[in-house]
Amino acid sequence: MSKVIPDKVSNRLTLYHSILTEYIENDIEHISSPQIAQRLGIDDSQVRKDFKLLNNAGKCRVGYLTTELKDSIEKTLRFTTAKNAIIVGAGNLGLALAKYDSFNSYGLNIMALFDNDPQKIDISVNDKQIYHISKLPIMVNKLNAEIAILTVPRPYAQKVADFLIESNIRYIWNFTPAVLKVPPHIKVWNENLIASFLQFTCKELI
Amino acid sequence: MSKVIPDKVSNRLTLYHSILTEYIENDIEHISSPQIAQRLGIDDSQVRKDFKLLNNAGKCRVGYLTTELKDSIEKTLRFTTAKNAIIVGAGNLGLALAKYDSFNSYGLNIMALFDNDPQKIDISVNDKQIYHISKLPIMVNKLNAEIAILTVPRPYAQKVADFLIESNIRYIWNFTPAVLKVPPHIKVWNENLIASFLQFTCKELI
DNA sequence: ATTTAATCGTGATTTTTTTCTCTTTTTGTT
DNA sequence: AACAAAAAGAGAAAAAAATCACGATTAAAT
């Protein structure tokens, strides 16, 4: 049996995961769907439906086992599968992401950074070296990196993306505001901070 | 006539906005719904439906006026309404966000940062001062800040959030992985980088 | 002037997602 | 042992979102 997990579901799964982590830290063994639902402001049957998707059975009157559920989410979302990534653009955001160690716990290994500024080359950030962008094709292959985290200024975004695709990168996590043109076999995820911000503050009327 | 804009729509609107910016930079006066749709891999009628929501009419055989459409999106998403924000947690991410000037173009003004580390106090980052967290209630009032960008380490997240709410912050843009407990009149937006990452790389099967 | 093709606008349809409702199970209480 | 309460599970219903389909319009081509 195999099913695709919709975006909405995997988004909720990570929120459940965070709540579970908190419960486990406090040595609470069980959690119920209404508890989670109330915390997130959603319907409790929604929570149960999501857990059903994980094939994770709960117990009536008791709820779900926190540790079991957490493992289940981690397995489903592949926390344990290592995924190698590079950061392209060693500016403020790129460097901040390079220093963000929590990524490791979710299977994301940042291997190196790339930039075109000669002043930044060969510096190490959080044990990750910054290389000149021209080294990209060799290094992607050497580091076995599938994912590129794109944090260059907007005007360079498309050109760098093209170069990444040439260099055999398969996933682009796009932190630039540019909407990239890519062939169908390349997956792009737009991390649009501006969009998030506007969505959240402009829940108003037209 | 007034309508709430669904999240999905405002998310697409920002993507349209980015494409429009690119067209305008290249002095292209018109854009058609199939052009946009193809770029984003969505249906063209979807694009037209979204523009309908903006009350922005297109012209058959020609498309939409790029500048008009861009203005329309900016008006709808309130790019021009100034919104004052503070960053709480002057770590890597907090500092990177403080240095990210593009926020201004979308009406987000970052006024100051807060941290509990005495070593960081009174330093300026991108013309924004870092204050001790104890100054928060006074400064929120003084700066007329409604929005808090939360970038503290996870274990402090809930306590700081409680303090923010006491200090009359109304919106919390939560960059921590914690799922915050807040009263109903406080709006939280979880910027879950991990969730994004997992959604995008784990589009696979259970 | 007529034809052709591109595109808008929109109602209908389909698909997806969420919520509702009801039954069953289980645990604690009387 | 019977009962009450809490929660899971599952199917039905409702709501939301996306897609389809097609007529109307218009610019360019013949």
pLDDT at A200: 82
Residues of A in contact with B197 (CB under 8 A): 103, 106, 108, 173, 189
CB-CB neighbours of A107 under 10 Å: 20
Q: Across the interface, do B18 and A177 touch by the CB < 8 Å criterion?
A: yes
Of A171, A173, A202, the CB nearest to B10: A202
pLDDT at A152: 97
DSSP A135: G
Element (H, E) at A149: strand A147-150
Q: Across the interface, do A99 and B92 touch by the CB < 8 Å criterion?
A: yes
Asked whether strand C has any atom less than 7 Å from the CB of B48, the reply is: yes
Amino acid (1-letter code) at residue A178: A
Q: Is B162 helix (H, G, I), strand (E, B) or coil?
A: helix
Lowest mean pLDDT among A40-44, A126-130, B143-147, B183-187: B183-187
A96 φ/ψ angles, rounded to the nearest 5 degrees: -60, -45
Which A residues 183-202 touch B at CB under 8 Å? 187, 189-202
Q: Give A154-163 contacts, CB < 8 A, sequence gap 24+.
A: A154/A178, A156/A89, A160/A88, A160/A89, A160/A133, A163/A133, A163/A136
pLDDT at B192: 83
Nearest C-alpha neighbor of B43 from the set B52, B34, B31, B56: B34
Q: How confident is the model at residue A195 (pLDDT cuts 50, 70, 90)?
A: confident
pLDDT at B1: 42
Ranges assigned E (strand) in A29-102: 30-31, 64-65, 83-88
B42 contacts B85 by C-beta, under 8 angstroms: no
List the pLDDT tens digit at each of the 206 positions of chain B.
456 889 999 999 999 999 999 999 999 999 999 999 999 999 999 999 999 999 999 999 999 999 999 999 999 999 889 999 999 999 999 999 999 988 998 999 999 999 999 999 999 999 999 999 999 999 999 999 999 999 999 999 999 999 999 999 999 999 999 999 999 899 999 998 887 888 888 765 44
Element (H, E) at B112: strand B108-115
pLDDT at B2: 56
pLDDT at A205: 43
Q: How confident is the model at residue A1 (pLDDT cuts 50, 70, 90)?
A: very low
Q: Which residues from the 7-66 window of protein chain B have CB within 7 angstroms of nucleic acid chain D?
A: 7-9, 42-43, 45-46, 49, 59-62
Contacts of residue B178, defined as CB under 8 A and 6 or more positions apart, other chains included, come to A18, A22, B154, B157, B158
Angle between helices B44-53 and B7-25 (to 10 degrees): 100
Nearest C-alpha neighbor of A54 from the set A108, A17, A24, A80: A17
As given in the structure block, the two tokens for residue B50 are: 């979204």
pLDDT at A206: 39
Q: Tell me the mean pLDDT in the region A147-172.
A: 97
Q: What does the mean pLDDT of chain A come to?
A: 93
